[in-house]
Structure 1
Amino acid sequence: MLDRNPRQQFWMNDHMDQAVTQWINSFAGISPMLDRIMIMITQFGVPLLILAIVLQWWSGGASKTHVRHACIVAGLSFLIGLGVNQIILLFVHRIRPYDAGITHLIIDRSADWSFPSDHATATFAIVAAFLLCGLWRRGIAFLVVALLVCLSRIYVGTHYITDILGGAATAIVSAAVINIAYRQDSKLDRWITGLL
């Protein structure tokens, strides 16, 4: 169990966060089938979403270069968002809800701090990138997957809802910065989108 320090005490006073987290987690353990589904979503949701993005590289029809540009923005947002999370984890040491007695865990314990959620950052980076690039149908489809993954992280007992919101915020900011910094039709973009 990770030791508590004064920085962690800030989180312990948020009753709404705890109440919503407990409510979502309260469904865990009631239905073995639902537990298995949520565990599968929490374990395989991010890899399957990454695979979906990789497959987007060869789709798009007439807008192939635009879709490829969105894939690059998604990949960069994903990496930058997770990098920012690692910096946040150096300063914010929030214990996991199962260590605080808020949830009961139905998967293996995590070795790092709770805030922000890497799963939320990874999935919402992809969603934000596609939406910012104007690919609405794909973005909404990815959003459904992202919401399921994030819900599963609370359901299995490993995150608070504010961990999810923090991870999503990191992802959206990262995607916005990359969308501004990495311009479509730049020389670099034309070279990368022309590969394969």
Structure 2
Amino acid sequence: MQLYDLDAAATRTINSLAGASAAIDFMMVWVSAIGVPLLVLAVAGQWWRGSGRTRSRHVLVAAGLSFLVGLTINQIVLLFVHRMRPYDAGVTHLLIARSADPSFPSDHATATFAIAAAFLLHGMRRLGLWFLAAAVLVAISRVYIGTHYVSDVLGGAMTGIVAAMLVRPLYREGTRVDQLIIGIL
């Protein structure tokens, strides 16, 4: 069995659950549509959190930078990789409107995993694990609704994690730039 066949089979298995329950379909479409904006709002909402404000703000900025770096990496990947969406290849049936851009990597997975990885890499374990759970749910929802292959969301997750790993040593806590940024508001 080739890797594509394994990827298509895993994708088909997850997507085959779509249509069995209107409530689950609705939830997965909803998670897919507003998961990223909700995570961004959850990160932004931490800005005014009480204790450890300086440390928290540094991590919040690092999460935002990881998000942006991850999506930038995706744009570079898209210059070289033009993967057909699984619904166009007859692998899945789609629950939402068609997308005009290529399938690999998943921007949704990149964005959410970048946020989770930034929190985890900066030692904010409790919040990081919540963000990680949300990222996994968003990634699964993208396959469930038929818009991505499993490997698309795994590639997006890796891009997000790599972005957070790149940001970690480059945006250091306590530097002048860090103090300027976290001093805002």
Q: TM-score, normalised by structure 2?
A: 0.97
1:123 aligns with 2:128: no
- Cross-structure match for 2:154: 165
Report the Cα distance in structure 1 between the residues aligned to 2:156 and 2:122, rounded to whole angstroms.
20
Report the Cα offset of residue 60 of structure 1: 4.7
1:84 to 73, 83, 93: 73
Q: TM-score, normalised by structure 1?
A: 0.92
Report the Cα distance in structure 2 between the residues aligned to 1:189 and 1:182, rounded to whole angstroms.
7
- Secondary structure in 2 matching 1:57: helix
2:27 to 37, 40, 65: 37
Report the Cα distance in structure 2 between the residues aligned to 1:78 and 1:176, rounded to whole angstroms.
11
1:64 aligns with 2:63: no
Report the Cα offset of residue 16 of structure 1: 1.1
- Equivalent residues, number: 184
What is the percentage of aligned positions where both structures have the same residue?
A: 57
**More displaced, 94-103 or 52-61?**
52-61
- Cross-structure match for 2:7: 17
Report the Cα offset of residue 191 of structure 1: 1.4
Report the Cα distance in structure 1 between the residues aligned to 2:101 and 2:12, rounded to whole angstroms.
21
Report the Cα offset of residue 120 of structure 1: 0.3
Residue identity opposite 1:107 in structure 2: I
Contact (CA 8 Å) 1:85, 1:116: kept in 2 or not?
A: yes
2:169 to 180, 185, 191: 180
- Cross-structure match for 1:5: none
Residue identity opposite 1:46 in structure 2: V
1:135 aligns with 2:124: yes
Structure 1: 5+ residue runs without aligned partners?
1-11
Structure 2: 5+ residue runs without aligned partners?
none
Contact (CA 8 Å) 1:60, 1:67: kept in 2 or not?
A: no
Report the Cα distance in structure 1 between the residues aligned to 2:131 and 2:124, rounded to whole angstroms.
11
1:192 aligns with 2:181: yes
